[in-house]
Amino acid sequence: MGTAGGTALFNFWALGQWPFASLAAWTTPALVGIAAWFINVVLVYRSRYLKTNYLLGWYWFCLMLALHPQGITPDAVWASMGISVWLAMAYELSDERKDALFTRSNLGLFSAFLGVFSISWWSLLLPSLFALRTGTLRQPPRYFLQVAAGWFVGLASVFTFAAYTGNLATYVNEIAQVGSRPWSFQWLPVGYFALAFWMLFAVFETMRAMRSAKKAKRRGLIMSWIGIIWGVSLILWQGEHAQAGAILAVFAAPHIVNLQSYLTKAWMIRTLDASLVGAAILGLVMSHPL
């Protein structure tokens, strides 16, 4: 309820969505509330190191506010949910209870399907391949080929469906635009700087976890860093067109939770979400002055 209510207030200011003016004023906050629960359940269950205290969903919500000063849209929420499913599948790469071939192939397949959000998301193949090495650096070449094969099957399915529905030319044009889009510098919202500040602390806590934490936690934190690097690369390459904020919210949330578990002072723990919400409000004021 808190995430839904917070989204309603935030979007009222950012997008001018009056409660009774449009259906989106109700559906988007409800979707955010469901997404916070969904992301928390999906990732906590499969990570085997995150705790079931709903902090992950809460920090994801705070990050979404900080990284979307223009307002949280349904597209951004759906993108975050899609990325959370990918991360959950990546967690299962080391799950001995799962069929390894099935897990690797599905990871590649789903990486291709996520291209429906943005053509540039097809580059998710690279994080999928790097995810194989989070537990053991040396992996048989066939493991990488299995992920790549799943990705190619998914890509072929997307193109086949596009041709069947008559949208193949649209896909080809979008691919050409992605490849030819010139790089341009632009200032990011304040929330990105708040995130960068906490990620600097997360680097040292990750190094600490590499020495003392269990294998599941070490793998999970490294996977999150792979996703963060991919998200930052999308910002430099495509800007906000690729829903980079929604991506970073998913991959950075486990690090914020990890920081929270290492902090000893109560005021420092409260600073985590308070600083993100404060950055969201500051970004909102800067982009939508009263």
Provide the pLDDT for residue 63. 93
Provide the pLDDT for residue 11. 61
Structure tokens at 122: 């097809």
For residue 47, how far is the Cα from the chain centroid?
15
The answer to whether the CB of 262 falls within 8 A of the CB of 209 is: no
Whole-prediction pTM: 0.89
pLDDT tens, position by position, for the chain (290 residues)? Answer: 567 666 666 666 566 655 555 666 678 888 888 898 899 989 988 887 787 667 888 899 989 988 988 888 888 999 999 999 999 999 888 777 777 788 888 999 999 888 877 888 888 999 999 888 776 667 788 888 989 999 999 888 888 888 888 777 777 777 777 666 666 657 788 889 999 999 998 998 888 888 887 888 888 889 999 999 999 988 888 777 788 899 999 999 999 988 887 777 788 888 888 898 888 888 887 776 65
Provide the pLDDT for residue 194. 92
In the three-class reduction of DSSP (H, G, I as helix; E, B as strand; rest coil), residue 244 is classed as helix
Provide the pLDDT for residue 171. 73
Neighbours of 2 (CB within 10 A): 10
In angstroms, the CA 78 to CA 5 distance is 18
DSSP conformational letter for 52: S
- What interhelical angle do 266-287 and 190-212 show, nearest 10? 150
Cα angle for residues 116, 252, 69 (degrees, 5° grid) = 70
The tokens 């899609």 sit on which residue? 82
Say if residue 34 is exposed, middle or buried (CB neighbours under 10 Å; 0-12, 13-18, 19+). Answer: middle
Closest CA to 25 of 94, 74, 90: 74
Helix ranges, 52-189 (H): 55-67, 74-91, 100-113, 125-131, 141-165, 168-180
Share in percent of the chain as helix, strand, coil (round to 5): 80, 0, 20
Provide the pLDDT for residue 253. 93
The answer to whether the CB of 274 falls within 8 A of the CB of 260 is: no
